[in-house]
Every structure is written in C-alpha cells, then in structure tokens.
Amino acid sequence: MQRRVLVATSNPGKLRDFAGAAEPYGITIAAIPHFSSLPPVVEDGATFEANARKKAEAYSLAVPGELVLADDSGLEIDALGGAPGVHSARYAAEEPHAAESNADDEANNARVLRELAGVPRERRAARFVCVLAVARDGQTLQTVRGTAEGLILAAPRGKNGFGYDPLFYFPQIGRTFAELSPAEKSRYSHRGAAFRAFLSWCATAHLTG
C-alpha cells in the first residue's frame, strides 16, 4: 500500500479529518506542496463526483507520480429539496452557483437556519455526502462515496469541526459533529466512511510508488 497520499485541499479541517482516519493504517496524509499557488479548479460539476474527479485529475498533474485525493462534499437537506448540495461551501452567496469563492461558515449556517425557520424537527432530515476521487498523472483511478444521516438543529452546538458540523445532529450518538473529537468524527462521518472505502480500495489496488 502506498504510504503517502496528497490531498487537494487547503482546508485544515479536511486535512485533520483525513489524517485522523488514516493514522491507524500507517498512511501519511499531506497537502499538495504549494497548493495555494496552483491555479484553482472551477467546481462547476452538477454532482459531487464530477467535481471530485475534476479536482483530482487537475491537481495530480502538478505532482507527477503521486497519488492525489480530492473530495467534493456537502449537505443535503430534504426540506430544501436537497439544497445546499454541491453549493454547500458557497451557500451564503447571493448566487451560490456563480460564486467564485467559498462563503464564511457562519454565513452558510445562518442561511440554512433562516430557510428552515418554522420547519419542525421531524422534517429536518439531512445527510452529509462525500465523494472522493483518486487520481495519478491526470487520470482518475477510483471514486468512492460516503454518507451520514442526521438532522439539522435550530441552533449550533459544539466548537469542533467546520462547515455545517455545529448544526448537524447525529441521532446515533446524540451529538452534533462539532461535539466530536477528530477520531470520533472519522468513525461516524461521511468523510470517514468515504475514506475507509478508499483505504479498502488501496489495499487491493496493487499501487506502487
């Protein structure tokens, strides 16, 4: 199994999530060197998988021979018709589909709370979705998917995590994702589930390098 995987993100929260899940397997997670100086990839795909593949393929060209992991993930809320979906990181923007940069986490959360105002708890079902794409030298080798089912609270809880974690209540353990340690979150989260699927693929893919 390849012992180092480069992740196409500058988000420290995502890096922590991946590192926490990878540690028991002896895999080192690192950011792509000088990632912030690379040309950004426009995430204009209609699905999480399309965006993940696009990012993995593009960024893997910057690090020849390396295994590059990219993800696209977000929150789907049933009462909002699946929104914010692929626009999760930019949901607070006036036109999320056209926004060129991510919005502030608190602003994204605030919009979700506004749109769910008056919606009863039993209709606040939601899920986190994560699709990972693995690429090397511009070619996608595999994609995997993970989900976590929960509901959206009326107010944030917890100081850990990032994104919508303070609003996402996970009934199985009676806490929000922002109330979990990195190790706990990797056990229950959509990203953890997708990453375990990636690790299973790694174990049988006969990778070299």
Active site (catalytic) residues: 72
CB 123 within 8 A of CB 78: yes
Alpha-carbon distances of 102 from 5, 10, 95, 149, 182, rounded to whole Å? 25, 12, 12, 24, 23
Alpha carbon distance 67, 125 (integer Å): 36
Residue with tokens 């590059």: 68
Alpha-carbon distances of 105 from 102, 137, 195, rounded to whole Å? 9, 33, 23
